[in-house]
Chains A and B, each alone.
Chain A
Amino acid sequence: MSLEGLSGGRDDDQVLVAEYALGLLEGGERAAVARRIAADPAMAADLRLWRTRLATLDVQFAEVAAPTGVLQQVEWRLFGAAPAPGGWWNSLALWRGLTAAAAAVAIIAIGVNLLQPRVDPKVLANQLVAAIQSQAGSGVEFVALYDEGSGEVRITSLKGAAVPDKDYELWYIKGEQPAVSMGVIPVDQRMEIPLDPAARANIAPGTVFAVTLEQKGGSPTGKAQGPIVAVGTATPI
């Protein structure tokens, strides 16, 4: 049996390979041709020819900036736990790899810290720092310094601007637990946040700090609703 309009034999095979390469075959026919190509070196060589030649048309696919958040979705799927409702917080995939950056900022933070009047070496030994770094191009960065002695988190804005009708909200995430709010934070000043005993017990090396952009006054539900604009992992100084 020959294809319509053709003499049959070798021409048929060549056309089938071209149709396969172009994506003109569907379903069962496509699968059948794929199996034939896999079994026939001449057809496989032909497919290579078509693919490399057709690929030179690829320049005609115009670049379009990908929507934000796609990479995060991919990383959650590949490296993190499956996101439960509101539970993408539970995935630690996002925050991995930030430890080095946190350590770099820790050095700066120690420098800053030495300028503070109440610092002594014993206090330093019980502090954690997190470089809360910009996500998805938000340009928002903070440093969080947690002092076990005072039970306070000192949050300092490094970069970023206020957004009209929105507030930034700081969260901590311990292991697989849902994110817990530490309140709304300003972008233009340093702020000390006293933590309750439950929160104090949860802040430890590896605890993740995240900042989201929420409605004015912060998320009304106690669960993060806005996008993550910055994240970082707590590291001992």
Chain B
Amino acid sequence: MAKFARMNSAAPPHIADLIARTALRDRSAFRDLYARTSAKLFGVTLRILKDRSEAEEALQEVYVKIWQRADRYVAGGYSPISWLVAVARNHALDVLRARKPVSDDIDLVLDLADGSPDPEQATIDSTERKRIDGCLDELESDKADCVRGAYLDGFSYEELATRHNVPLNTMRTWLRRSLLKLRECLSA
């Protein structure tokens, strides 16, 4: 643990600090934040939208939102990079889903409903990663693939049904049961 803390202090400004300074309207921190995170977030928009120019346009929107909403991170429960990925992923999903974005107000309400920030997030992340991988392993492999496909590729029920060559209703039933199992495992 002591070793971990030392490594942290030697690192460049933490992403959480850059988000906090961005919330204070520090433009150079915002630029640093972009330099540190844009490749990750472009990876997110590109994977979900699967089109370079759409992904680029989405990335622009994402950083506009990050500037406008950086103050909300302080109240949020995500680790800093997860929060940024969530902003990118949600925006890409909005673009993907029939180009009819859900009212931002709703997302804002849910952001505020998040818990308090967790200073030990980094260590928690690594144990949780094991746990979700372990829990996904407990599902049949094609069902675990559906969960990953929904999260990482933004696949809808329709796309998942087509990809797995089953009727839509079968896919819904499959996945809903899998999600319940997964939740049970995750909260155990």
Contact = CB atoms under 8 A, between A and B. Distances in A.
Interface of A: 3-6, 11, 14-15, 18-19, 22-24, 26-27, 30-31, 34-35, 37-38, 44, 46-67, 70-71, 73-75, 77-79, 96-97
Q: 8 nearest interchain CB pairs?
A: A5-B173, A56-B129, A55-B82, A63-B39, A66-B38, A18-B179, A34-B106, A66-B42
Interface in B156-188: 156-157, 169, 172-173, 175-177, 179-180, 182-183, 186-187
B99 to A, nearest CB: 11
10 contacts: A38-B110, A44-B113, A48-B115, A52-B124, A55-B79, A57-B148, A63-B40, A64-B43, A70-B56, A70-B59
B8 interface: no
A58 B129 CA distance: 10
B176 A5 contact: yes
Contacts of B27: 75, 79, 96-97
Contacts of A65: 39, 42
B1 to A, nearest CB: 20
Contacts, number: 168
A61 B49 CA distance: 13
Given A4-B169, A37-B113, A77 B176 contact: no
A5 B169 CA distance: 9
A18 B43 contact: no
A197 B163 CA distance: 69
Contact of B78 (A23, A31, A38, A55): A55
B145 interface: no
Interface residues of B, number: 69
Determine the main DSSP class of B at the interface with A. helix
A220 to B, nearest CB: 28
B98 A26 contact: yes
B47 A61 contact: yes
A67 B56 contact: yes
B180 A23 contact: no
A74 B60 contact: yes
Nearest to B170: A5
B129 A59 contact: yes
Contacts of A97: 27-28
Contacts of B64: 74, 77-78
A97 B29 CA distance: 12
Contacts of B41: 66
Interface in B44-86: 44, 46-47, 52, 56, 59-60, 63-64, 67, 77-79, 81-82, 85-86
B109 A5 contact: no
B15 interface: no
A64 B147 CA distance: 23
Contacts of B150: 22-24
B119 to A, nearest CB: 14
Nearest to B39: A63
Given A52-B78, A56-B132, A31 B103 contact: yes
B24 interface: no
B93 A23 contact: yes
Nearest to B92: A23
Interface in B89-119: 89-90, 93, 97-98, 100, 102-103, 106-107, 109-110, 113-115
A61 to B, nearest CB: 5
Contacts of A3: 172, 176
A98 to B, nearest CB: 11
Given A23-B150, A56-B125, A58-B81, A70 B60 contact: yes
Nearest to A21: B151
B178 to A, nearest CB: 9
